[in-house]
């Protein structure tokens, strides 16, 4: 990918290698702190940093060789529109890569933590049925098809993470993700009870489903889409 133009969106700051020279990030706002983190990780002058969001990306049609969408579909109101907009900015022959969190036992484990006496459950935002999709490689491929994309390949890797209870608890205590929002709404006593239950959680499998390569067919004219995909347009 030397010299390629790339657009990337990411929901969380972190130590990922960032593509160059263009990076588009959206984080709960979008959040300019994401740009500062990206600049810290990639301080070279060849990179261009800006805050924007799909499905109204401020780029012309066909302006990128590669677009990557990493774990973004839990943060946009219309995954299909997001896909279409990201496909729009790809040049013919460009590549669109997508990764989403798959189903795992972690959701049920956190649900048990939220079941301690006295806990207040905040409503959890849900996509409307017509916008939602199964969090599997097959479900992601089906979403790509709805957006007019042709899937080139897909995979569903799994991994094992070993972490102490204290380390695990730091994420929700800091407000990370939906579980963090729930924890922040509790009293200190309820939070302490949650931590105790967290320490009794069993090990749960985690996995990520991804459809790394998708491309629109020649006849496809993508409409505005959403945030985070890497795919390719036919020449």
CATH of the domain at 54: 3.40.50.150
pTM of this prediction exceeds 0.75: no
Q: Which domain holds residue 143?
A: 6-103+126-160+205-215
- Six token digits for residue 222: 């993508």
pLDDT class for 118, splitting at 50, 70, 90?
very high
Position 18 pLDDT exceeds 60:
no
Identity of the highest mean pLDDT range in 1-10, 31-40, 202-211: 31-40
User: Quick one: average pLDDT of 96-109?
Assistant: 79
In a domain, 232, yes or no: no
In a domain, 115, yes or no: no
Do the strands 90-101 and 64-70 form a parallel or antiparallel pair, or are they unpaired?
A: parallel
Whole-angstrom CA distances from 10 to 146, 187, 206 are: 23, 31, 20
What backbone torsions phi and psi does residue 59 show, to the nearest 5 degrees? -130, 150
**CA-based R_g, the chain, Å:** 19
Position 187 pLDDT exceeds 90:
yes
In a domain, 15, yes or no: yes
For the chain, the average pLDDT equals 72
Number of domains forming the structure of the chain: 1
Residue pair 99/208 in contact by the 8 Å Cβ criterion:
yes
Q: Name the residue with tokens 């973004």.
A: 72
In a domain, 187, yes or no: no
> Which of 73, 101, 135 has the alpha carbon at shortest distance from 208?
101
User: Quick one: average pLDDT of 83-108?
Assistant: 83
In a domain, 181, yes or no: no
In a domain, 73, yes or no: yes
Residue pair 48/208 in contact by the 8 Å Cβ criterion:
no
In a domain, 230, yes or no: no
In a domain, 116, yes or no: no
Check residue 201 and give its pLDDT. Answer: 64
Q: Name the residue with tokens 């677009």.
A: 67
């Amino acid at each position: 990918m030397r010299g390629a133009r790339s657009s990337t969106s990411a929901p969380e700051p972190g130590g990922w290698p960032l593509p160059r020279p263009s990076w588009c990030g959206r984080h709960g706002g979008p959040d300019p702190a994401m740009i500062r983190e990206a600049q810290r990780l990639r301080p070279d002058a060849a990179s261009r940093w800006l805050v924007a969001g799909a499905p109204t990306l401020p780029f012309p049609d066909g302006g990128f060789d590669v677009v990557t969408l990493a774990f973004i579909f839990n943060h946009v109101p219309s995954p299909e529109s997001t896909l279409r907009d990201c496909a729009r900015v790809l040049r013919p022959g460009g590549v669109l890569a997508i990764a989403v969190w798959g189903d795992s036992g972690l959701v049920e484990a956190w649900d048990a933590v939220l079941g301690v006496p006295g806990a207040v459950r905040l409503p959890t935002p849900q996509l409307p049925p017509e916008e939602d999709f199964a969090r599997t490689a097959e479900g992601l491929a089906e979403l790509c098809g709805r957006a007019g994309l042709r899937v080139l390949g897909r995979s569903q890797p799994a991994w094992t993470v070993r972490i102490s209870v204290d380390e695990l608890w730091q994420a929700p205590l800091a407000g990370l993700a939906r579980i963090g929002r729930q924890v922040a709404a509790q009293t200190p006593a309820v939070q302490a009870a949650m931590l105790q239950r967290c320490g009794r959680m069993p090990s749960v499998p985690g996995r990520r489903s991804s459809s790394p390569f998708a491309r629109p067919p020649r006849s496809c004219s993508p409409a505005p889409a959403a945030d985070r995909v890497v795919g390719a347009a036919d020449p």
